[in-house]
Amino acid sequence: MAFALPPLPYAYDALEPYIDSTTVCFLTKHHNTYVTNVNNVLAGENGGSLKGLSLSAIQKEVVSLPDSIKTAVRNSGGGHWNHSFFWSVMGKTGSIAEAPSGDLKSSIESTFGSLDEMQKKFNTAAATRFGSGWAWLSVNADGQLFISSTPNQDNPLMEGIVDQPGTPILGLDVWEHAYYLKYQNRRPEYIASWWKTVDFDVIAKNYTAAKSGGLPAFDTPLA
């Protein structure tokens, strides 16, 4: 068993002008490093504890892994899941749903008051994450939406590790390498621009899955 780098679901320049093609290219190289590193764990002495698990299942098992591989899986397995998920929630302007509808829209409005208020809270979580990490919109065990941020490559699936566990339906990479080539130190500008790439049809599907106890569906191929 070994993971493979999933193909981008769009061209490298599809997210222009909000996320430049050079950054997307570099990010896929970072992503590939995470894939390589988690595969090295799988092939190693204690990799048997991961064999047969999906990438999402691995996130949920991080807390119970042997200490000898826990940090590597948390960082590289998390990095693989996070980036695969990140690519899946975006798309080319003109071919995406730029606003929520249906049950997702209703839930956002009942939880946060409006889409605008949700985005403000999300933006704050992303902008104030110290150092490297991610911002998330997730569904908790009670089926309620919540916003959180995590350091490094942690994600809300890592119950027992993160402060607020849940099922992510939207995530944003706020590591500097995700935006520095285009935005330099202007992280808030990157965050505001990124919303122009978010496909709310995908987020709605993720929300429906999470509400029924499922997980987001995206490509995590095996080698």
Q: Report whether 163 belongs to an annotated binding site.
A: no
Q: Give the sign of the dihedral formed by CA 203, CA 142, CA 60, CA 52.
A: negative
Rounded Cα distance, 134 and 215, in Å: 18
Q: Report whether 201 belongs to an annotated binding site.
A: no
Note every long-range contact of 127-132, with CB atoms under 8 Å and residues 24 or more positions apart, other chains counting.
127/174, 127/187, 127/188, 127/191, 129/174, 132/174, 132/175, 132/176
59-82: b (≥16 Cβ within 10 Å) or e: bbbbeebeeebbebbbbbbbbbbb
| Parallel, antiparallel or unpaired: strands 133-139 and 145-151 | antiparallel
Q: Report whether 83 belongs to an annotated binding site.
A: yes
Contact assessment for residue 111 and residue 185, using Cβ atoms and an 8 Å cutoff? no
Tell me which H or E stretch contains 136: strand 133-139
SS3 category, 148: strand
Rounded Cα distance, 99 and 129, in Å: 25
Q: Residues marked as binding for Mn(2+)?
A: 83, 173, 177
Q: Residues marked as binding?
A: 83, 173, 177
